Amino acid sequence: MSDPLYKKELLRLAADATGSGRLTVPCGTGMAHNQVCGDKVIMDVAIAEGRIAAVAHHTQACVLTQASAAILGAEVTGMNREEVLALHAAVGAMLAGGSAPHAPFDVFVVFDGVAELGSRHKCVLLPIEALLAALDAQDAG
């Protein structure tokens, strides 16, 4: 594909699907759904000492959402809810024209082609929203 939206690095992330699957015994499970396009993400989370110990995701979604979920699958271990919330804000700011988040989440720069497509921002943010819902479910349980 020569479309700048679907860079080779982005397609590789989606194909690798790091963290894909379900946890056997999650502490919390969250779901996020994009009503516009039908993308759906289910995120399971295991928590130890207030931090993410493991995460798994099941995506029925476009390549943008799949790649974003794979980034989380690779990098969120050790984070707490406040840090995930800050990541959501940083990725949202990047999509609005700001800088990429700090390492290890600077890989979100692969979504720079999405910046001018406001309707696709939700695709990138959806896995983070599912993770926040999983953390909220864990807190409520």
For 29, the token pair is: 């499970």
CA proximity to 79, closest of 55, 102, 104, 51: 51
Tell me, what's the pLDDT at 64? 95
Domain-embedded: residue 93: yes
Model pLDDT for residues 29-43, shown as the tens digit of each residue: 999 999 888 999 999
Q: Which domain holds residue 23?
A: 8-140
Domain-embedded: residue 55: yes
CATH number of the domain encompassing residue 21: 3.90.1010.10
Q: Give whole-number Cα distances, 97 to 68, 72, 82, in Å.
A: 18, 21, 23
Phi and psi dihedrals of 102, rounded to 5? -70, 160
> DSSP E strands: which ranges in 34-125?
40-48, 51-60
With beta carbons less than 8 A apart as the criterion, state whether 88 and 129 touch: yes
Domain-embedded: residue 1: no
Domain-embedded: residue 12: yes
Question: How large a percentage of the chain has pLDDT more than 70?
Answer: 95
Domain-embedded: residue 31: yes
Domain-embedded: residue 122: yes
Model pLDDT for residues 68-100, shown as the tens digit of each residue: 999 999 999 999 999 999 999 999 999 999 999
Number of domains in the chain: 1
Domain-embedded: residue 3: no
With beta carbons less than 8 A apart as the criterion, state whether 126 and 35 touch: no
**3 state DSSP class of 88:** helix
CA proximity to 10, closest of 107, 104, 84: 107
Residue 1, pLDDT > 50, answer no
Domain-embedded: residue 85: yes
